[in-house]
Amino acid sequence: MALPSPSSTRRQDVSPRDSPTAEQSGSGNRARVDVARKTKEAEHMLANLEEEGVEIDGKMASIIDDEIARIKAEADRENIINGLVRNGKMLLVTMSSVALGFSLGVELCEWSLYAYAFKKIFYGK
């Protein structure tokens, strides 16, 4: 069973490393960029094999499908880890804000008690 060639193949004059990486493009979704790049590479490989006249049978197609599924699972794991890191950073910012607010509140209460004591001592009210 031959697989149909992909509808959009990559240009032949562009190597896989000429495309901008996630760090260069500045995106925070590196996993999705990697999946798209690796999927395009797999489609490009299939197109090259078909151009050479290689018949892709069911076993080869299942191996390729398994590899694409592995790439997508890896990207999902990386997205989950990135989400946990973002949530952890937000938790640290929130906890530090609460701690700073608490310490400032304690400091303000202490100042108000000193002012009250000062008023009591010197003004007798």
Question: Which has more pLDDT, 54 or 113?
Answer: 113
Query: What is the count of structural domains for the chain?
Result: 1
* Domain membership flag for residue 37: yes
Expressed as residue numbers, the domain containing 44 is 16-98
On whether residue 67 sits in a domain, the answer given is yes
Would you state the pLDDT for residue 10?
47
CA distances from 122 to 77, 108, 116, 118 (A): 67, 21, 10, 6
Q: Which of 5-14, 52-61, 88-97 has the lowest mean pLDDT?
A: 5-14
Residue 8 lies in a domain: no
Q: What is the pLDDT of residue 11?
A: 47
pTM of the model: 0.45
Is 36 contained in some domain? yes
Alpha carbon distance 107, 23 (integer Å): 44
Assigned domain for 114 exists: no
